Amino acid sequence: LPTALAMEHNKSIETSVSQALQMEKDGAHIIDIGGESTRPGAKEIAIEEELHRVVPVILSLRKVSNVPISIDTRHSHVAKAAIAAGADIVNDVSGGTFDEEMLSTVSKLSVPMILMHMRGTPETMQTMTSYSNVVNDVAHSLKKLSQRASDAGIPKWLQVLDVGIGFAKDYHGNLELLKYGPGRVREYMGDDTAMLLWGPSRKGFLGTITGEKVAEKRDYGTTAACCMAVATGPLGACNIIRVHNVKDVKQAIQVMDAIRGA
């Protein structure tokens, strides 16, 4: 079973900690905490506000659990403060390109980093969804992000690469990434050891397929997408899946694994 990276955003401290503990109980191996929305069209918030939202939650969660915590941020200052508060991993949806100090900061912190593929910003990214070959283009972009991180002092064994499902991808782009999967991305990167993350949970393309307009009601579609992401191909499945409903996805993958191993 790949690592489940559960998501926590914009809740009260008590609610966030309670939900994180439940996600851990349900099988999440990493809790992702973020204070800035990165949904399509979302505007940037002040760094001070982002710090106010995430640091108290990390401090409170760390008091009651040793579960690994990732800080979902594009800002090096927030990343540094979050790690000091008890987080373990930096998760940057811009792949370290938004803040010019991010890669050097993570290098100095000597922690793992999740580098995601995206074009533009959350506010502009859905106007940048044209690719000649989405799988190939994303793979080559991830290879460049990985090399930039390596050059900054973040070794490959501390890097996780995220294809950015739903980020600067249209309906067909998201489906192609899921269809051809992690194995094809590794093939195009020329790196069969790359650590890959897939995050299709509750994304808009699932609503397009199912007709479900409410994101929180897309868990059945999410489960199907996650099963595709972890189906082992010639160069393997993804290593981490990012989900909201940990329990349901974990059960589905356990059953899939049992059938495959029978």
Active-site residue among 74, 202, 242, 250? 242
Active-site residue among 203, 213, 247, 260? 203
Query: 242 catalytic, yes or no?
Result: yes
Query: 203 catalytic, yes or no?
Result: yes
pLDDT of 39: 74
Yes or no: say if 163 and 138 are a contact pair by the CB < 8 Å rule.
yes
pLDDT of 2: 46
The pTM for the full model equals 0.92
Alpha carbons 177 and 162: distance in angstroms, whole number: 11
pLDDT of 1: 42
pLDDT of 7: 54
- Block means of pLDDT (10 residues each) for the chain, 262 residues, are 52 87 95 85 86 94 97 96 98 96 98 95 86 95 97 97 95 93 89 93 96 96 94 76 95 91 89
